[in-house]
Structure 1
Amino acid sequence: MARFDVTDAEWALIEPHLPVAATGPLPRRVRDQFNGILWRFRTGSGWRDVPERYGPWSTLYSRFNGWAKAGVFQGLMDALIAEAASRGQVGLELVSVDSTIVRAHQESAGLAVAGETLDALEQALTEEKGAALEQQPPVLRVMRHRPYPARTAGTVRTRRRTTIAPPRGDAAGPGPRLPGSADPEAG
């Protein structure tokens, strides 16, 4: 057994939750394969770098891929958490949320509030600060967004097209002549 392989006690908890085919031969070395999958993710290496004591890397990858698609790992986590909870070993110290990975949706940038709710917020703000909304500093004021004007059935928004006109001669005379071109006034 290698340094970070699962212990006999851990394997006794894990083994019942790993699937075994109803027919056909029992998979040999399932514990080694499970340890190989854990080794790969613990070290962050590629599948081809898994030590040979866990079996061929392609077998490990196939086993992991099949288990992941079948939801075996999620079921295993749920079962282990339930087992720990039944023993009274689950606490909030196990929960960890790193703010560097929490992302806000693009729609969270603006707040859309219904008119009644906005009026209630303005009233509460006025009562709390003791001043009318217009007299409060801009940071505390609730800004109302102006809705876009409603379009009638016959109006169509068009975009003004701009074109670049070809260069023309200025008021002083025609533009520059190219060498070898005929002089129009020499006629």
Structure 2
Amino acid sequence: MARFDLTDAEWAVIEPLLPTDVRGKERVDDRRVLNGIFWRLRTGAPWADIPARYGPHTTCSNRFRRWRKRGIWDRLLDAVSEAYEGDLQMIDATSVRVHQHAACAQKKEGGSGGMGRSRGGLTSKIHALVDAEGRPVALKITEGQAHDGRSAADMLGGLGAGQILLGDRAYDSNALRTRMAEQGAWANVKPMPNRKQVLAFSPFLYKYRNLVERFFSKIKHFRAVATRYDKDPDNFLASVKLAALRVWLRAL
């Protein structure tokens, strides 16, 4: 078994969740193809460089895109993340450099493609909501210059009664605090230093926010996430979700 291949325990979780509606010719071995996809995700190498032991590289790349379009990767991540510990959740964002091969797509297509100019040059930003164990609950990507707090608005619908959201100063807004209160949750967000209103804030609970930073550290071990090589933003988000899936599998 190669270093990045799925273990027997990880495969036992994934296999029952894979599609079984095979028509015509029998599908190439799923485990071998998935191992090829994870090899490329971990190394950041071009699809064409996938080792022959994983089969034709075109099979791996085509399966990755086809299953992304069918929502298979979303289904896998949703299934394993049902066990999340939601009493305490942390939100944050991290920027990743866009490789020059992906950057050219922005010029050709005329759209942002989830890429934007920031102090680090052309970047994309990964937004993540994680649970009390540092495992991902929600993920999205935006342009690198996107505001963390405003970009998180559509990621917080799952927080409810008795739950606590931790966030840094980028998420300090009256609108977010009001929304969390309406949902029955409490936003333990570090207030901006220029705030005149004294707000309830627990420095003790805030220390647990490092779990989201540790999550980003884990997924950036996957070089195809640490640097964006995918031109299509949907493909890049799928890569992020597959890295997140691997974090969940290892935790389980």
Greater strand share, structure number: 2
When normalised by structure 1's length, the TM-score is 0.47
| Bigger relative contact order, structure 1 or 2 (CA pairs below 8 A, ≥6 apart) | 2
